């Protein structure tokens, strides 16, 4: 595990085997980044950092006063790293945001990564906030203050405490300035998928923390002493989708939900990933992982030109 983690960090530091979004493709029409995301129950617009949009990084923003659902209009292959955050003017308590990854061919092969907070008194840091992986009825995560390959750091259904699984981002960047963070999927040569999140005190992602590994050890079960996570192999790297939901944990459909923004995506087979910077509203061409749909493919060339010229 340490070897795989070191490889991930090294690749991030040196940019090994990466290319810019759309590089190597035939030249085409300028691409509006908003076409990458579709939402039901939320509006989607471009947000700019450092202004009235209340975001730490520029990118695609989904906004709503009620719970909502959305998806990337994409088919991803290989590893994935997504940089995202939550709008800073949002409530911090009783919020849940869930990413779901599913095979594009067999959607029943899926798992979710859940960020949630249930602060009872945020000013006094009373309550909890954290992240965990859910696969069927199984949940896994790791405690934030312990090295992830120490057995006492691993948590499962039996001892899950979300308050021990702090990560960046937190809702509204509450508490320690975690306005944004990274969520990563990384497949090893042995087919094991590891899920990484950004440590709660490290929004720049210098020290990613593994919170679960799909290691094919369901027969053995969850046994940290033996180094097994008790999760199946997740062989979806040949093509998978990414959807998300935002909700109020109290189940009140009128109390709002966390507004999320996406600032960059890096995706593709190890050593040949494509980096897609979403901090500008228009790309030179569409990303290779983009999958057009009738719902999202409605942006006209005139609209794109308006964005490039500041709406003139």
pLDDT(100) > 70:
yes
CA distance 64 to 68: 7
Q: Are 229 and 217 in contact (CB under 8 A)?
A: yes
pLDDT(70) > 50:
yes
Q: For 215-238, what is each residue's pLDDT tens digit?
A: 999 999 999 989 999 999 999 988
Whole domain around residue 44: which residue ranges?
2-308
- Count of structural domains within the chain: 1
CA distance 119 to 3: 36
- The total of other beta-carbon atoms located within 10 Å of residue 80's CB is 22
The residue-averaged pLDDT of 164-183 equals: 74
**Amino acid 249: pLDDT:** 80
Tell me which DSSP letter residue 285 carries: S
Q: Are 281 and 310 in contact (CB under 8 A)?
A: no
The residue-averaged pLDDT of 151-166 equals: 85
Is 171 or 71 the better-scoring residue by pLDDT?
Answer: 71
Is 176 or 117 the better-scoring residue by pLDDT?
Answer: 117
CATH number of the domain within which 180 lies: 2.60.120
On average, the pLDDT of the chain sits at: 81
CA distance 14 to 156: 34
**Amino acid 74: pLDDT:** 97
The residue-averaged pLDDT of 135-164 equals: 85
Q: For 253-304, what is each residue's pLDDT tens digit?
A: 556 788 999 999 999 998 889 999 999 999 999 999 999 764 444 443 333 3
Residue 142 token pair:
């790791």
What is the rounded end-to-end Cα distance, in angstroms, of the chain?
53
Is 153 or 304 the better-scoring residue by pLDDT?
Answer: 153
Q: What is the 3-state secondary structure (H, E, C) of 146-176?
A: CCCCCHHHEECHHHCCHHHCCEECCHHHCCC
């Amino acid at each position: 595990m340490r070897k795989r983690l070191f490889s991930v960090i090294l690749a991030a530091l040196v940019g090994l085997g990466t290319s810019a979004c759309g590089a190597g493709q035939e030249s085409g029409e300028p691409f509006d980044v908003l076409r990458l995301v579709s939402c039901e129950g939320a509006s989607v617009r471009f947000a700019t950092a450092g202004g009235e949009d209340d975001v730490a990084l520029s990118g695609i923003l989904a906004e709503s006063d009620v719970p909502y659902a959305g998806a990337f209009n994409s088919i991803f292959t290989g590893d994935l790293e997504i940089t995202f955050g939550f709008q800073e003017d949002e409530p911090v308590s009783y919020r849940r945001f869930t990413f779901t990854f599913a095979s594009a061919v067999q959607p029943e092969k899926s798992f979710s990564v859940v960020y949630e907070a249930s602060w009872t008194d945020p000013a006094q840091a009373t309550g909890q906030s954290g992240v965990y992986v859910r696969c069927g009825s199984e949940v896994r995560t790791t405690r934030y203050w312990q090295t992830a390959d120490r057995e006492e750091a691993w948590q499962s259904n039996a001892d899950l405490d979300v308050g021990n699984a702090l990560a960046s981002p937190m809702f509204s960047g509450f508490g320690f300035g975690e306005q944004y963070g990274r969520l990563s999927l990384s497949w090893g040569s042995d087919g094991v998928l590891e899920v990484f999140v950004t440590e709660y005190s490290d929004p720049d992602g210098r020290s990613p923390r593994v919170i679960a590994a799909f290691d094919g050890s369901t027969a053995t079960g969850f046994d940290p002493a033996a180094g097994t996570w008790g999760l199946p192999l997740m062989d979806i790297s040949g093509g998978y989708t990414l959807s998300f939901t935002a909700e109020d944990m109290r189940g009140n459909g009128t109390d709002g939900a966390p507004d999320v923004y996406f600032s960059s995506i890096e995706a593709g087979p190890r050593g040949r990933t494509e980096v897609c910077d979403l901090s500008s509203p228009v790309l030179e061409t569409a990303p290779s992982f983009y999958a057009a749909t009738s719902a999202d493919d409605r942006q006209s060339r005139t609209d794109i030109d308006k964005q490039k010229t500041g709406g003139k």
